[in-house]
Structure 1
Amino acid sequence: MKKKYFATLLCAAVLTAFTGCGESGALKEEKKAENKTEKLTFVLDWTPNTNHTGLYVAKEKGYFEDEGLEVEIVQPPEDGADALVASGKAQLGVSFQDTMAPAVAGEDALPNTAIAAVVQHNTSGIISRKGEGMDRPKGLEGKKYATWDAPIEKAMMKNVVEEDGGDFSKVELIPSTVTDEVSALKTKSVDAIWVFYAWAGVATEVAGLDTDYFAFKDINPVFDYYTPVIIGNNEFLEKEPETAKSFLRALKKGYEFAIEDPDAAADILCEASPELDVELVKASQKYLADQYKAEEERWGYISPERWNAFYNWLNENGLSETEIPENTGFSNEYLPE
């Protein structure tokens, strides 16, 4: 799974109108008794993978239905989930704190808010063939790194290389969108790739490819930002906060099921997306079972300190055209206790 890096643009569209502004428990039960459901559209960030398992579990297990919701899961357009959610054509979706950055403040800010963390810590880092010296950032000197050529990405790479005493100018940047990390490393078309270990890293294990890996958060704690996150359209959140809370209540159950029984959760994801490799999904699901909540007591919580630390770093390094104020772009108020 490769995450897109893009500068999100404001999508001018008429927001979808919704009926109702929240429900009491009694009203919810009445609605269920009358077989009334509220329809929501949820847009993914990429093709289905284990980041999304809780969503598919909640749908398959009837957790959304129990909350009086009918959730349609759709694939993202070319400009990503952020634009579709901002337009109101989808009320909810998946994004990432780093890719949200260009559009959380200023005149071009998108009307979206992160309302839950899918995974508690940043599991991304640099993977390379084992034993070639790239188990630490300085070892990237003289090696071919597959870059998306994105400003935040390159700034982070420069930071970790220099933190390790290396010279970033000596890293060979190869513009490349790698879709098969195993093949790219085996053929030596590139030497190092930015991956999310839960998917691409685990894929190398399943393929029997020996690798070295270092995580960004282990080099610089400021890079322990939130990726991925659930985002909601601001008008939807304002008009229907109880619906948003109902959605997250059901979604939390989905992810808690995946934590408690990753094998069964993997089966549900594979049934919904039969094109997926079962062995990879099973292994990835086992890895993520310990990552969804990590040390937090409740799934989805976003630490203001960690959220602000990353955006402050962007501000300090001139990586945001508009300075991002603290506590901008996220909220924990829709999470179930």
Structure 2
Amino acid sequence: MANQIHYDILIIGAGPIGMACAIEAQKANLSYVIIEKGALVNSLFNYPVFMTFFSTSQKLEIGGVPFVTISPKPNRNEAVEYYRRVAEKFGLNINLFEKVKQVNKNEAEIFEVETSKTHYTAKNVIVATGFYDVPLLMNIPGENLPKVTHYYKDPHLYAFQNVVVVGANNSGVDAALETYRKGAHVTMVIRSSELGPHVKYWVRPDIENRIKEGSITAYFNAELLEIRENEVDINTTDGTKTIPNDFVIAMTGYQPDFSMLRKFGIELPESLCPVYNEETMETNVKGLYLAGVVCGGLDTHKLFIENSRVHAEMIVRNITK
């Protein structure tokens, strides 16, 4: 199978949903390959080291393989290990560290797929690329400085430093609390008047109390104006404030790679929610399907692993009918 260059299904993305699609293809005796530009479950691999999921382990299961954890809610390390074991169990045909560059249909209605390593042909293509690859930028001076990151990983780096965290959803709150507990002097810059509505219920009291007692400084109804080597400017309700700064963790959110979707011929209206059939997951391009969070466009809180696992069954059912 590994030497085969033509497949019934080519899947772009080796995240949990891409893997679920491969498992369904395998069950249906369809030839398939997963093409992944990074590591297995690359987005999860790049999550913060100490992240805990909102979902319970049962809701993250794929392929009927039990996800056993001691705590009801698994952490990032447990999830990465679980999905690796699932890939091993099913012997999934996955090509890692290979980037899809273009997908075109030829005159015979077969997809021709060009990657960074080779070419493939496939009867059907499934895009299961998630949304974690393209950060939403602040578009302010200094955002490209080395001290600015849109991907928070490990709090130890920020020990005893002046850290600005932009954003007040789960990723921002986790970064603020974890770096604070490693000795960082943390300032949160929050655009709205309150913490994000999706903040994990067991974390919310912690961040609220740290802000209330002054351990973490938080500016609400505020935004970052400019980042410089040793300081930042913040627009607050009391005017512009300049504070010392060593690092900026910009947890401003992410979006699907819309330019890639357009390049594949997928229709994107003004809402940037890709056009697809909600019963079959097929896009406006016949034989080209969407699966997982990528379906939600900019509304990245709409779809998760737990409510998009079913996409795999829907797609393969439509292909085999």
Q: TM-score, normalised by structure 2?
A: 0.29
> Quick check: which one's strand share is greater?
2
> Quick check: which one's helix share is greater?
1
Higher CA-based Rg: 2
Determine which structure has greater relative contact order: mean sequence separation of CA pairs < 8 Å that are 6+ residues apart, divided by chain length. 1
Q: TM-score, normalised by structure 1?
A: 0.28
